Amino acid sequence: MATYNRFSRQRAGLLRICLAATALVWPANSTSAARVDAREGNIYYIGANGHARQITMAGTDSDPSLSPDGRQVVFVRKTSSPAGFAEPTDLHPMQTEIRIADVAGTGGSHLVFGRPVVLHNAEYATFSEPRLAPGNRYVYFLIHYSVVEFGLVRLNLASGKASMISGALDWYVVDAGRYSGDLVVQKRKTYPEGSNALYWLISPNGKKLGYVGESRKEVEEFLSNPKRRAKASP
């Protein structure tokens, strides 16, 4: 079991490195010159002038992301509380939290989700890569749903309800245009003779809206044209 756990954690780590660069809000908004960063477990806001402002001081924060309007930052905080159950990539995970703070750095951060995600009698406490959708109604984040694929979870900020809407190898939140608020997700599908991983446009509820492509280049072309329509099928 220990060998399997090490192997699982390594694969999850590689997936997370990949997703850290690709789980984007697209296209870039008017505040794209500003950014957020995690340094030694604390969140910093770096303005367009290059000045860094410390937002949190917990020492256990990671995965920050700016909201599309540039006013808030959403991030993950690791707690010291054991989850009390095993995950596919970790036998002894710690509970994590999704938090939001204003980039002004006043008022501290507030907890928006801090309990396990429950799916089919299984629980998941390790969250990563949170993103705020346009309008700040939803937060999307990842759970370690399996060894080979993450689960994409939608958190309704008004109700506090979290639901997994899709498996995800790669994903984007659409920030503007015809499909603003929808998502582009790379979904893995297995067949008797093999598998593929294609990009699909899905709604916030996870409903498949159309086909986007099989490469990241096709996804970028699709997202860069706000009038472009998704295809019905590959």
> Could you identify the residue written with the tokens 């997370």?
16
Which H or E element spans position 9? helix 2-22
Q: C-alpha distances in angstroms, 220 versus 28, 175, 213, 228?
A: 12, 13, 10, 11
User: Would strands 42-46 and 52-54 be described as parallel, antiparallel, or unpaired?
Assistant: antiparallel
How big is the CA angle at 164 (ends 162 and 169), to the nearest 5 degrees?
Answer: 135
- Which percentage of the chain shows pLDDT scores above 90? 70
Within 8 A by CB and 6+ apart from 51, the residues are none
Cα 53 to Cα 44: distance, rounded to the nearest angstrom: 5
Decide if pLDDT at 194 tops 90: no
> Model confidence over 219-228: pLDDT tens digits?
999 998 878 8
> Model confidence over 91-123: pLDDT tens digits?
999 999 999 999 998 888 999 999 999 998 899
* pTM of the predicted protein model: 0.83
- What's the confidence (pLDDT) of residue 58? 96
Average pLDDT rounded to a whole number, residues 166-185 = 93
Strand partners, 142: 128, 152
Cα 129 to Cα 189: distance, rounded to the nearest angstrom: 23
Decide if pLDDT at 15 tops 60: no
The tokens describing 167, both together, are 């498996």
Decide if pLDDT at 7 tops 80: no
DSSP state of 214: S
Question: Under a CB-based contact definition with an 8 Å cutoff, are residues 117 and 107 in contact?
Answer: no
